[in-house]
Chains A and B, each alone.
Chain A
Amino acid sequence: MTLAIRPTADVTISIVATAPATVDETGYEALTGFSEISGADNLGELGPMKETGNFTPIKGSQQFYRTIRTASAFDMSPADLPADAGQIACKAAFDADNGTEAETVTILVEDAAGYKTYFRTLITKFARQYGGAADLQVRNISFQPDPSTFVEVTP
């Protein structure tokens, strides 16, 4: 049996400042105006998780339980492209005042087969990294997703 594997090559990450009318597939799919963040090099783990607590009784074994829903922050380091619309949108969200609507953006990650992951996120870092003489200048961008906003869409 051949497995329907999907390569990561050609996966795109795009950004739009607007929020969906509803945080579900329909709301996200109705959004327009996404700009690709060009030059992305790595996308890592995207999705919510449950933190765990534990209780250790004097007698018996340790017990684990699930607590709050959260989401791991992730970073990427695309080539530094100051004129790229996606990177400009990231900078705008990073520069927005804390607590304002503009600090949170919608991200779409999509593969060539049309599998998508949507989420809302803060941009917590937007820094140029120079490195040494043999390096490329890259733009380090950090994302802190809202764990309640992840939606996966199948084609």
Chain B
Amino acid sequence: MPKTTAASTATQDAPITGAIPKRKNVMGRQVSYVTFDGPEPDAGSTIEFTAINGIAYRATVADSVTVDGKVTCELSDGPHVATK
């Protein structure tokens, strides 16, 4: 069961699976995103997700938006491979 860190502002209630990490070049700055099926985490929270390649990652959410049930989170840190 994924856990949030002490710095989190929201609890991750359920495992996030099938997530798709992406990175965009925004005005010369590399910005990481992850897309998955909701719910939407709060800004500042730390999430763990299993990507479609089967690897578990951990990341900190900067901002989120939900469109048609798909959540896209901009990340302020990570994703990093989650080590147990």
Measured CB to CB, the residues of A under 8 A from B are 12, 14, 21-22, 24, 26-27, 29-32, 34, 36, 110, 114
Contacts and interface: CB of A to CB of B under 8 A. Distances in A.
Q: How large is the interface on B (under 10, 10 to 19, 20 to 34, 35 or more residues)?
A: 10 to 19
Nearest to A28: B23
A27 B55 contact: yes
B41 interface: no
Contact of B53 (A14, A27, A110, A114): A27
Interface string B41-84: 00000000001111101000000000000000000001111000
Q: Which one of A22, A26, A34, A114 has the highest number of Cβ atoms from chain B below 10 Å of its Cβ?
A: A26
A26 B30 contact: no
B50 to A, nearest CB: 11
Contact of A32 (B20, B28, B51, B78): B78
Contacts of A36: 28
Contacts of B81: 21
Given A21-B55, A22-B55, A24-B53, A30 B21 contact: yes
Given A32-B32, A34-B30, A114-B25, A26 B78 contact: no
